[in-house]
Chain A
Amino acid sequence: AQTVTQSQPEMSVQEAETVTLSCTYDTSENNYYLFWYKQPPSRQMILVIRQEAYKQQNATENRFSVNFQKAAKSFSLKISDSQLGDTAMYFCAFSARSGGGADGLTFGKGTHLIIQP
C-alpha cells in the first residue's frame, strides 16, 4: 500500500511571493505518477500538475513547478508569483501505473494555502 504525507496543514504567504508545499510518499512501486490537485472553496478538484516517475525532468505548468526527488520519495510544489486566486487546499496524490492505465489515487491530507493581499 502507498502512503502520501503532507506535513504542512496550513501555510500563509503574501501575494506575489513564492511558496513551496511539501509532499513525501512511500511505495514499493517503480512505475507511478504523482499529481498536485487544487481544491478552492467551490470544492471542485482541479489538476494542477503531474509527474511521471520515469521522467527525471521536473514538470512545469506556467507559475507551477515541482521538485521531484525519486530516491528521497519527495514531490514538492512551487508556486511562483502567488495570486489571490491560488488560495485553496492543495492535495498531493499518488497513482501506481498498471496495464489498464492509472489506478485510484492515494491522497495526502492536504495543505491549506492562504494568499494574503
Chain B
Amino acid sequence: DSGVTQTPKHLITATGQRVSLRCSPRSGDLSVYWYQQSLDQGLQFLIQYYNGEERAKGNILERFSAQQFPDLHSELNLSSLELGDSALYFCASSVGTMNYEQYFGPGTRLTVT
C-alpha cells in the first residue's frame, strides 16, 4: 500500500459525459501528478500540482482539467468523453522538494461506452 488513495476504482460512463476522479496523496506529500495508461499511448504524464498550484503540464487534452485543494487532495475532471478516453488513470504523489520519488495510487479504470 503506497498511501495514495484514488476513488472510484472503476467508472463506466457514456460518450459525451463528464466525470471527476479523486486522489488523496500520502500524508506530508505536497505534489500530486496525474497519469493516463492506455494500450495506444502507454503511460503518459498529464499534469502536476504542487501545494495547490499547477506546476507542470504534459499531454493533457483541453477537455481535461485538474485542481488541488487546500487539504492537498486533487481531482481530475474529464469532459465530453470519447471512446478513446477509456484508460487507467493514476495519481501519484511526492514530497515535492528534495524528495523526488513518486508513489502511485491504485488507479481508476475508466470505461467510456
User: Chain A interface (Cβ within 8 Å of chain B)?
Assistant: 33, 35, 37, 43-47, 50, 91, 95, 97, 100-107, 109-110
A-B CB contact pairs (8 Å), 5 listed: A95-B100, A100-B31, A101-B50, A101-B94, A101-B99
Assuming the contacts A47-B101, A47-B102, A95-B100, asked whether A104 and B45 have C-beta atoms less than 8 A apart, the reply is yes
Closest 4 CB pairs of A and B: A104-B45, A102-B100, A45-B104, A107-B43
Bound state CA distance, A10 and B55, in angstroms? 35
Assuming the contacts A45-B90, A47-B103, asked whether A104 and B58 have C-beta atoms less than 8 A apart, the reply is yes
Is the CB of B106 closer than 8 A to any CB of chain A? yes
The interface size of chain B toward A, counting residues with CB under 8 Å, comes to 31
**A102 near B102: Cβ-Cβ < 8 Å:** yes
**B100 near A101: Cβ-Cβ < 8 Å:** yes
- Within the complex, the shortest CB–CB distance from A9 to chain B, in Å, comes to 12
- Within the complex, the shortest CB–CB distance from B98 to chain A, in Å, comes to 7
Nearest CB to that of B46 among chain A residues?
A: A104
**B107 near A43: Cβ-Cβ < 8 Å:** yes
